[in-house]
Amino acid sequence: MAKDIMYRRVYEESSPDDGKRVLVDRVWPRGMRKADAHLDEWLRDVAPSTELRRWYGHEPSRFDEFRRRYLNELREPERRQAAEHLRDIADHDKVTLLTATHDVDHSQAAVLTEWLTSRRGV
């Protein structure tokens, strides 16, 4: 059964309440040193494709379509394996999904949190 799943910006200070800290961005956060991120894992392969990320451009008006396309991408073999690994982590530990995105409520971290919480399968 899934435990607590949260999401937030990787630039925020880490907390013991975070549980496993997993970065879900394809590219490393600008200006952040790896030692300062306090990550347990960096799952690049669960992130949206570069093409989808560029199309979306973090425009909230495109979020519903981004969400739909991103969930479809999670069915692709490489991303599916990463998504299943993330699900396994969430099944055993409290998880905080991290992203560099300013608007975390309109990010892949938010979509992944919903997906993990709903147990919607890929």
* CA angle centred on 86, ends 7 and 110, rounded to 5°: 30
pLDDT given at position 28 = 96
pLDDT given at position 118 = 84
User: Which residue ranges in the chain fall short of pLDDT 70?
Assistant: 1-3, 119-122
pLDDT given at position 52 = 97
Question: How crowded is residue 15: how many other Cβ atoms within 10 Å of its Cβ?
Answer: 12
pLDDT given at position 3 = 58
Q: By the 8 A CB rule, do 23 and 46 touch?
A: no
Distance CA 60, CA 76 (A): 25
Q: Which residues contact 48 (CB under 8 A, 6 or more apart)?
A: 26, 56, 66, 69, 70, 73, 108
- Give the pLDDT confidence of 54-74 residue by residue, as tens digits: 999 999 999 999 999 999 999
pLDDT given at position 1 = 40
Q: Of 46, 90, 54, which is closest to residue 71 (Cα–Cα)? A: 46
Q: How far is CA 121 from the centre of its chain?
A: 15
Q: How far is CA 27 from the centre of its chain?
A: 12
pLDDT given at position 114 = 93
